[in-house]
Amino acid sequence: MKRALGALFLWGRVLLQVASYPLTAYSKHRRQTFRLAAEALRNHLPIVSLSKVINTRLVDEDKISLQAVPQHVHNCSIFELFALAALARAVNPWLCLEIGTYDGRSALAIASNVNSQARVVTMNLPPDYLREHPDESAVVDVQLSAKVKSGERWLGRHESHRIKQIFADSLEFDFASIGHPQFVFIDGAHDRHSVESDTDNALRVIDRQKGVIVWHDARDYGVRPVLKRLHSRGYPVYVIEHTNIAMILFGEGAAIRLV
């Protein structure tokens, strides 16, 4: 009942913002609010600006550092890479978990923006997975396990000592063995069943005192229905404006509402 009222309130506000646009469009702030509300209606998920998430968690002295910036096929966009880095700096995790290493560009962005004691565990299907599972050779996410050298973008870089690479299928992995990360980035297999499983595992292990779960491809593939379902179950999941990244922030034992 409480959740249903919460959802009703949220969507009621969104509709009100859209409906009041003709009266309020003169202000830049109002126009942005309207744009986010309209986008939220289109995607069935609320949108939040990156600054809304990080403004109260970062100060002027905080530095965001990015390396291996050029975007190759299957990488996040450059702004998404910045968003990941800024979120990592803002949350200040000591343990991070990434599902879907690929060439290592996103793991490096996270590792470059956590404190020097923090660790980033990144998981990918093993390089010989395709050879051992020829029946799955038509699945793009499986093909990617053999397309590049997993983690090649962090090789030889100072921050790589914070990264621990593991080769495993996230559907079979024992997530309890890694502890309680404060930062989880889900970007492995994109079919609904795998995203559901990765999401359930992330929700099980995330540190709810201070943590964030981040999904790439939030509006696409099997990620979209999983996030819509989470939202309908009352989780405050938000898409970050100008990205295809969604997130749930946790603090003091619970998920945090941002808008």
Residue 245 interacting with ligand SAM (CB under 6 A) = no
| Rounded least distance, CB 64 to ligand SAM, Å | 17
| Rounded least distance, CB 87 to ligand SAM, Å | 14
- Which part of the chain contacts ligand SAM (CB under 6 A), choosing from 4-12, 186-194, 219-227, 245-253? 186-194
* Helical spans, DSSP H, in the chain: 2-19, 21-24, 28-43, 50-54, 78-91, 105-111, 129-132, 140-147, 192-205, 223-232
Residue 160 interacting with ligand SAM (CB under 6 A) = no
d(CA 220, CA 208) in angstroms, rounded, equals 27
- Which part of the chain contacts ligand SAM (CB under 6 A), choosing from 7-15, 26-34, 71-79, 222-230? 71-79
Residue 218 interacting with ligand SAM (CB under 6 A) = no
Assigned token pair, 22: 């003709």
d(CA 221, CA 206) in angstroms, rounded, equals 24
Binding mask 96-115 for ligand SAM (x = CB under 6 A): ---xxxxx-xx---------
Among 86, 90, 91, 189, contact with ligand SAM (rule: CB under 6 A): 189
- The answer to whether residues 178 and 95 touch, using CB atoms and an 8 Å cutoff, is yes
* Closest residue to ligand SAM: CB criterion: 100
- The answer to whether residues 67 and 157 touch, using CB atoms and an 8 Å cutoff, is yes
d(CA 88, CA 253) in angstroms, rounded, equals 19
Q: In the complex with ligand SAM, which residue's Cβ is closer, 170 or 201?
A: 170
- The answer to whether residues 242 and 214 touch, using CB atoms and an 8 Å cutoff, is no
Which residues bind to ligand SAM, rule: CB under 6 A? 74-76, 99-103, 105-106, 123-125, 141, 144-145, 169-171, 187-189, 194
